[in-house]
A and B are shown apart, each in its own frame.
Chain A
Amino acid sequence: MIWRRPQRRNDAIASSIPSGTSRISGCPGSRRRRFHPGNLAPPPWTRHLTRHFVGCTALLLLACQGPAQGAEHDVVVIANQGVGARVISHDMARAIFAMRLRTWPNGQAINVFVLPDDDPVHERFAKRLLNVYPHQLRLAWDRVVFSGTGQAPHPVDDEREMLERVASTPGGVGYLERDQLEDSVHVISLAN
């Protein structure tokens, strides 16, 4: 899949919508490609039929292939079941993962979990959901720790451990690829 820097507002929201609603928004690009044959200007009498056929095919493909192409590899923010928040703003997400925010809106302590800096999932999470680069996050952590204004996030080795630690830690927050999701955690959507 070609990586494109997301339009902050729309793509990032799309990529963090819970799985049940992600089918349509998951692959707008593939829908455009499906309509290509229609541009070859067939005879007028076939146009109506063609449009129907192409439209149906596109829908079918969207339903079957769409999620497999994009959404499964989307990274979503996950939180402990006890965390009340279901939607947070981008800025708040950035402040949480930059270790500047200490409590959830309900007053509960935030516990941040992160994958290693060079983990591809961490890279995608930082770039697509937070709009920052992994090296910027690392610098932000070093700065809060060594200036006495914050603590470092809890490191985890892989997505399995991420899921377990977020599920078992009150106030826990982290991120996962969508296909690694389990009911032990809930998804937090990012909005503006």
Chain B
Amino acid sequence: MSYRWRIERLIAWSLFTLAGCLPWPVANADADAMDTLQVHGFLSQAWLVSDDNDFFGPSSENDGSFQYTEIGLNVSLRPLRDVLVSAQVLSRRAGDDDASPRLDHGIVDYQAFSNARRRLGIQLGRFKNPFGFYNQTRDVAFTRPSILLPQSIYFERTRSLALAADGVSVYDEEYLADGTLRLQIGIGDPQAGDDLDETLGLGEQAGSFDGRTSYIGQILYEDGEGHWTAALSAADVTARYQDSAGPIGDGRFHFQPWILSWQYNQEHWSLTTEFALRRIALDDFTNPRLNDVSLGQSWYVQYTRRFADEWQWLLRYDSLANDRNDRDGSQYEADGLGPAYSRYARDVTTGLQWRIHPRVLLAAEWHNIEGTGWLPVADAEDTEKYWNLLLFQASFRF
């Protein structure tokens, strides 16, 4: 398969470059490599209840939905003292029935330089995309402030593209006088899942998307006092659609998001905000009707308050517009394409997290939502404009 071949060529090329340019990894003389083996994991199960609109399964039916489960197993090892090998298998069920385990990440990470002023390294394999504050560990409940991440930015519809890429990533961390600057740049093939076909209304078609060489980068600054963090993430993700024999023909899909992130921390509270512009383009399609460009806009503001050591309360406003030039969807509706409210979503969320044990987290949250802009397409039938969603989740990690 040409896809796999390209990856192999990319990895071989990177290894070759690496070998030539960087100091050689040094054997871990101090300890047996197996002493460094670590195994971690997590498991979470949610219960979703909504008054209208199904989210992750039949949430609006009598007993709600239990179709939101995340199970992960993580193994890491330091075979050489500056090399880390890490792999994670994830089984995730979010409404659909396909919860088969897949490789979430699989990385060989070589930290070539590490001194008092900087550290610099390279990752080969399937790496998690540094996309906003939460993308890299978006499926681990313990790293999320709420059960559902702000859906305007971390939504399901293009999840597979944003999640991880197969290729090479380089990171650099500079320790400056007033803080730390972190850079990461990655080149690789994204995983284009069925979510993309469905989002673009091509789920019924024979053709499918195939990830192509894509780019992602993030620059992040953390001030020396540890109070605030700011980041800018950008990506150019490409997928190729192949349906030579069918009515759609071949074409290309581009996802080009920019995300500006900012977080302020105090001992008992944090304020987080992210703003994203998402350019989505279809081009090169034989059928010219399909070629289209849209610019979506997403943002949220989130306040979290910690109290009594184990509790955290969250309040968030989250806003999504699928088309920046038609934020309320009125033009979309006037064109007879569908209801206006399917083009945006405004979500007021409040939630509680209780860490009853370092390994156990219980959470509950309530969303009051206008619009169905981020409702996964598989769930988006017979929708209502105004709806409420209540979630409960129990999580365990080791």
Contacts and interface: CB of A to CB of B under 8 A. Distances in A.
Interface of A: 8, 88-92, 94-95, 100-103, 105, 107-109, 116-118, 127, 130-133, 135-136, 138-139, 142-143, 145-152, 170-171, 192
Contact of A92 (B111, B116, B142, B225): B116
Majority secondary structure of chain B interface residues (helix, strand, loop or mixed): strand
B9 interface: no
Interface in B15-67: 26, 28, 30-31, 36, 38, 40, 42
A117 to B, nearest CB: 6
A142 B114 contact: no
Nearest to A147: B136
Nearest to A127: B267
A101 B136 contact: no
CB-based closest 7 A-B pairs: A109-B81, A148-B86, A91-B175, A147-B136, A170-B30, A148-B105, A148-B107
Contact of A103 (B81, B87, B123, B226): B81
A91 B306 CA distance: 26
Given A102-B111, A143-B136, A143-B143, A148 B116 contact: no
Interface in B226-270: 226, 265, 267
A145 to B, nearest CB: 5
Contacts of B226: 94, 130-132, 136
A151 B36 contact: yes
A126 B32 CA distance: 30
B215 interface: no
A128 B78 CA distance: 31
Interface string B289-330: 000000000000000001001000000000000000000000
Contacts of A127: 267
Contacts of B76: 145, 148, 151
A170 B31 contact: yes
Chain B: interface residue count, which band? 35 or more
A91 B267 contact: no
A109 B109 contact: no
Contacts of B72: 146
Given A103-B111, A133-B267, A148-B128, 12 more contacts: A95-B119, A101-B114, A118-B309, A136-B265, A143-B143, A147-B128, A148-B76, A148-B84, A148-B106, A148-B123, A170-B30, A192-B177
Contacts of A133: 265, 267
B28 A109 contact: yes
A139 to B, nearest CB: 6
B115 interface: yes
B74 interface: yes
B82 interface: yes
B325 to A, nearest CB: 35
Contacts of B384: none
A148 B87 contact: yes
B75 to A, nearest CB: 10
Contacts of A103: 81-82, 111, 114
A89 B358 CA distance: 30
B31 A148 contact: no
Given A95-B180, A145-B76, A146-B74, A152 B81 contact: no
Contacts of B265: 133, 136
A131 B128 contact: no
A109 B31 CA distance: 9
Interface in B114-140: 114-116, 119, 123, 127-128, 136-137, 140
B224 interface: yes
Contact of B74 (A88, A90, A145): A145
A102 B81 contact: yes
Contacts of A148: 74, 76, 84, 86-88, 105-107, 109, 123, 127-128
28 contacts: A8-B224, A88-B116, A89-B116, A89-B175, A91-B224, A102-B111, A103-B111, A108-B30, A109-B31, A131-B224, A133-B265, A136-B226, A138-B358, A142-B140, A142-B397, A145-B76, A146-B143, A147-B128, A147-B136, A148-B87, A148-B105, A149-B109, A149-B123, A150-B84, A151-B36, A151-B78, A152-B40, A192-B177
